[in-house]
A and B are shown apart, each in its own frame.
Chain A
Amino acid sequence: MAKLKRDERVCPFCAETIKAAATRCRFCQSEVTPLAEPELEAEPRPPLRLRTRLRSEPGPAAEAPAGGSKLAVPSLQELRSFVQQRLTLVLAALVLLAAAGVGVSWWRAEQGTSEVAPDGSLVGDDARTQVLVAAADLTKRTLSYDYKTLANNMEVARARMTPSFRKEYDATMKQVRANTEKNKIVLEAVPVSSAIIKANEQRATVLVFVNQTTTAGTGKKRNQQLTRSTLVITLTRGGGDWAMHKLTALG
Chain B
Amino acid sequence: MNGTSVTKPFVINTVLAAVLLGLCVWLVLFAVLGGSAAPGQTSAEERAQEYSDIRRSARAETLAFLTIDHTRMDEMTARVLDGATGDFEKQYRASLKSLKDSAASQESFAKGRVAEVGLSEVDADSASVFVAAGSKVRNKGTKGEVEDRSWRIKLTMVKEDDRWLVSQLEFVG
Contacts and interface: CB of A to CB of B under 8 A. Distances in A.
Interface of A: 42, 44, 77, 80-81, 84-85, 87-88, 91-92, 94-95, 98-99, 101-102, 105-106, 108-110, 112-119, 121, 123, 128, 132, 192-197, 206-207, 209, 211, 228, 230, 232, 250-251
B130 A88 contact: no
Given A84-B13, A105-B38, A115-B44, A44 B20 contact: no
Contacts of A98: 20, 23-24, 26-27
B34 interface: yes
B115 interface: yes
11 contacts: A91-B17, A98-B23, A102-B23, A102-B26, A109-B36, A110-B38, A123-B44, A193-B154, A194-B120, A207-B132, A250-B115
A119 B12 CA distance: 39
B38 A121 contact: no
Interface of B: 1-2, 5-6, 9-10, 12-13, 16-17, 19-20, 23-24, 26-27, 30, 33-38, 42-45, 47-48, 51, 115-120, 122, 128-130, 132, 134, 150, 152, 154, 172-173
Contacts of B45: 117-118
B115 A206 contact: no
Contacts of A116: 44
A245 B87 CA distance: 39
A197 B118 CA distance: 4
A94 B117 CA distance: 49
A194 B117 CA distance: 11
A88 B2 CA distance: 19
A194 B118 CA distance: 8
Contact of A95 (B2, B23, B33): B23
